[in-house]
Amino acid sequence: MNRIIIFDTTLRDGEQSPGASLNKEEKVAVALQLEKLGVDIIEAGFPVASPDDFNAVQEIARLIRRSGVCALARALEKDIDIAYEAIKAASEARIHTFISTSPIHLEHGMKRSQEEILTMTEHAVKRARGYVPDVEFSAMDASRTDIEYLCRVIEVAISAGATTINIPDTVGCAIPSCWYEFIRGIRARVQRFSDGIVLSVHCHDDLGLATANALAAIEAGAKQVECTINGLGERGGNTALEEVVMALKVRSEHFKKDTRIKTREIYQTSQLVSQLTGVAVQRNKAIVGANAFAHESGIHQDGVLKKRETFEIMRAEDVGWPSNRIVLGKHSGRHAIGARLEALGVHFSTMQMDRFYLEFKKTADKQKEISNDDLCALAQTILNQ
C-alpha cells in the first residue's frame, strides 16, 4: 500500500481555535504525545506570533526525534528567518510558508496583483530553502482561486525549491466531488508532481465536509493530509486526524493506502488535547466521542452481544478505548439487562426477571442512564419481595 503522510497542525491551526490556546509546557506535552502517536510532521506553531510560541516551537524542535517538526511563516523574510531560528535544532526541520492567491484575498487582504504574488512566492520559498531542504508552500484560499493561476503559483513555488505543495480549502467551501476534480486537475496541469513533489491538502469543516474532502483528495492523488486531533481549529475546525486515519484503515480495500499512525494511541491523544485546550469532545464525535462505541438501543445491544460486528465496523480497543460500552436506559432490551445483571452476580428466576424488567423500564423513563448501583438497588428490591 502507498503511505499517506500525516501532517498534524493541532499545535498551530488547532490552537488558533478561540479559547484553545496552550502555553509552552502544554504544547510540549501534546507534541510528545503526537510523536508517540506516530505523526509524520508536527506543525509546532507560528514562531513570529509571540515569544512564548517561539520558545515552544524551539523546545519541541529540540525534543522531538521520531517526527518532523514544522514552523509556519508568512511569505515575509522576517517570518521565515524567525521560523528557522525556532526549528533549526530539529532532526527533520520544515519551514511552511504561505501566501493568499484568491481574488477576494488579493483585493481585500493582500492588496497585491497576481504578478506580485508570484514574485513574493518565489522570494519566500527561495529564502526558506536557503535554510532547510524541506520547504512546504501553501496557497491560502486555493479553493476559491482560478485553477490556471493557482497552477502558475505552484510552478513558481516548485521551481524556487518547495518540496511539498499544500492546497487549502481555507474557508471550508469545497464539495467532495468538485474537490476531487480540482485536485486531479492540479495534478494533470503540474507535471512536476510526478518528480517526487508531495501534493498536500488542508481542509476546513465549515460545511462538515473536511474529512470527506480530505479523502476525496487522497483518491485524486494527494499524498499528505493536514489535520488536527479532534478536528480542532479555526471556526468549524479542520479535518480530524482520527477520522482520516481510521477511514483509511477500516476501508483499506477501497483506498489501498495506509499511515504510520499507532491507532491505539488515538483515544489517549484525544483526551490529552481536550483536557489541555479545554475544548470538550462532543459525545457523538466519530472515533473519540463518548458515544462512539456505546449502545443503548435494545436491537443494537442484542446484536453486539451476539456478534460485535453486527453494529461495529471497528473495535474500540483498536483506537485506545478499554472496550465498547452497553448503556442501560429506556431503549435497552432484556438481553443487555440480563447480561449486565449476570456480570454483577445477580441471578433471577424467570418470574423475578419479568418483575425486574417492568420496574427497570419505569425507572429508566425517569432518568437518562441506569448505573450499576441503580441496578443493584433495584435488584435487591425484587429479591426482597
Contacts of residue 44, defined as CB under 8 A and 6 or more positions apart, other chains included, come to: 11, 12, 27, 31, 56, 57, 60, 61, 69, 70, 71, 86, 87
203, 261, 267, 324, 332 from 43: Cα distances, Å: 15, 16, 20, 32, 45
* Residues found in the chain: 385
Calculate the CA 186 to chain-centre distance: 24
List the pLDDT tens digit at each of the 385 positions of the chain.
Answer: 699 999 999 999 999 888 888 999 999 999 999 999 999 999 999 999 999 999 999 999 999 999 999 999 999 999 999 999 999 999 999 999 999 999 999 999 889 999 999 999 999 999 999 999 999 999 999 999 999 999 999 999 999 999 999 999 999 999 999 999 999 999 999 988 877 899 999 999 999 999 999 999 999 999 999 999 999 999 999 999 999 999 999 999 999 999 999 999 999 999 999 999 999 999 999 999 988 888 777 777 778 778 888 888 888 899 998 878 776 788 887 888 888 888 778 788 888 888 888 878 888 888 878 778 877 888 788 777 7
CA quadruple 204, 209, 213, 215: dihedral sign: positive
Instruction: From 223, 153, 157, 151, select the one nearest 194 (Cα to Cα).
Output: 223
The residue behind cell 509524520 is 40
- Domain positions in the chain: 2-277, 294-384
CATH number of this structure's domain 294-384: 1.10.238
97 DSSP β-pair partners: 73, 137
This prediction's pTM: 0.90
For the segment(s) 2-277, the CATH number from 3.30.70.1450, 3.20.20.70, 3.90.930.12, 3.90.226.10 is 3.20.20.70
Identical fold at 2-277 and 294-384? no
3-state helix, strand, coil in the chain (%, to 5): 55, 15, 30
